[in-house]
Structure 1
Amino acid sequence: MTSSTFRIGGELGVRRLGFGAMRLPTEPGPDRQAAIAVARRAVELGVTLIDTAHMYGWGANEELLAEALYPYPDDLLVATKVGVAPPEPPHDATLCGRPDFLRDQVEQGLRRLRVDRLELLQLHRIDPAVPLADQLGTLRELQVQGKIGHIGLSEVTVAELEQARQIIDVASVQNRYNLLDREHEAVLDACAAAGIAFLPWRPVHPAVTTATAEVTAVAAELGATAAQVSLAWLLDRSPVVLPIPGTASIDHLQENIAAASLRLSVDQWRRLDRIQPR
Structure 2
Amino acid sequence: MNLDDLAAFAAVAEARSFRGAAYVRGVAASSLSDAVRRLERELDVRLLHRTTRSVTPTAAGQRLLERLTPALREVRGALDAINAEGESPVGSLRLNVPTIVARVLLPPLIGPFLARHPGIRLEVVAEDRLIDVLAAGFDAGVRYDEHLEADMISVRLGPVTQRFAVAGTPAYLERHGVPAHPADLVRHSCIGHRFASGLVAQWSFERGSEVINVAPGSRLLASTLDLELQAALDGVGLIYSFADYLAEPLADGRLVEVLTDWSTAFPGPRLYYADRRQLPAPLRAFVAFLRERHG
TM bucket by the smaller chain?
under 0.3
- Larger RCO (CA under 8 A, 6+ residues apart): 2
The TM-score with structure 1 as length reference comes to: 0.23
The structure with more strand, counted as a fraction of residues: 2
TM-score of the superposed pair, with normalisation by structure 2:
0.22
